[in-house]
Amino acid sequence: MYALRTVILPFIWIFNPALLLVDVRSGLDLTLVVLASTVAMLVFAALTMNWMRIKLARWEFAVLVVAVLLLFRPDAFMDRFTPEYRDLPAAQLLPVAKDTETDDRVVLVIGGTTIEGEDVVKTVAVQLAGKKGDDGRKRLVDAGLTEMSLGDKVQIGAVKFGSRAKKAGLEQGWEVKAVKQRTERPSEHWFYLPALLLVGLVWVTQGRRMKARAQ
C-alpha cells in the first residue's frame, strides 16, 4: 500500500501529457500542471499512509481522494460539462486547418483498410506548420499531408515519409471521416481551485484537532 506512491508515477505522464511538453500552449499551463501534480503526489502519499498532519478521519480520507482525482484528471471532470472538441464534416478540413492556432494540432477521424484487410477507424492529431490564417492546404502540405476532395468526401492523397503526418499515423488512401474542432470551453485548470480548497480544509481541520489534543 505504501509503495503505491511509486506505482502511480508512470500514470501521471499519461494523464498529464503536458509534463512531457505535449500539447502545452504556454508556460503558465506547464507551471500549473507541474504544481498540481506535485501537490497530488504529496496528497496521494498521505492517503497511502492514512496520515497527513495526524491520522486521517474517514471523511478526511474521502475528501482527499476527491482532491487527488481533481488534481490528476481535471480534464475528465470538464468533459462531463462540455466536450473539448466538436465534430465537423470532412469537407471543413481546409477551413479548420486555416483557423487552427499556430503550433497547434488538427485532429482528424480517419478510416481505411489495413494491409491485413481489417477495417479501422481511428483518431489522429497532426501538428500543423505555418501560422494561423495561412492557407489551410499549404499548412497541411508542410506537415506532410496532401488531401483530395471528392465532393463531400475527403481522401488522404499522399503522406510524406518522415513527416509529422506520417508520424501521427495517417495512411495514404484512407478517408477523412470527420474533423474535430476545439471548442471554446473554460480551462480545465479551474478544477484545481476546489481541489486545493479541499486539501486546505483537511489541513486546517487536522491542525485544530492537534491543538485540541495538546490542550
Domain ranges (residues) in the chain: 4-82+189-214, 85-181
- Which has the closest alpha carbon to 127: 111, 147, 108? 108
pLDDT at 115: 83
pLDDT at 55: 94
pLDDT above 80: residue 135: yes
pLDDT mean over 127-148: 91
Residue 155 CB-density burial (10 A; 0-12 exposed, 13-18 middle, 19+ buried): middle
pLDDT at 73: 86
DSSP, res 155: E
pLDDT above 70: residue 102: yes
Angle 33-38-40 from CA coordinates, rounded to 5°: 95
pLDDT at 51: 93
Distances (CA, A) of 170 to 23, 92, 110: 19, 18, 8
pLDDT above 80: residue 5: no
pLDDT above 90: residue 206: yes
Report the share of the chain in percent with pLDDT over 70. 97
pLDDT mean over 79-100: 91
Average pLDDT over all residues of the chain: 88
pLDDT at 2: 67
* pLDDT tens column, 169-203: 898 999 999 999 888 888 888 999 999 999 999 99
pLDDT at 154: 92
Residue 163: what residue type? S
Reduced to 3 states (helix: H, G, I; strand: E, B; else coil), residue 153 is: strand
pLDDT band at 30 (very low <50, low <70, confident <90, very high): confident
pLDDT at 184: 86
List CB contacts of 207: < 8 A, sequence separation 6 or more: 53
pLDDT at 84: 86
pLDDT at 191: 94
pLDDT at 16: 73
Residue 109 CB-density burial (10 A; 0-12 exposed, 13-18 middle, 19+ buried): middle
Quote the CA–CA distance of 29 and 144 in Å, as a whole number.
Answer: 28
pLDDT above 70: residue 44: yes
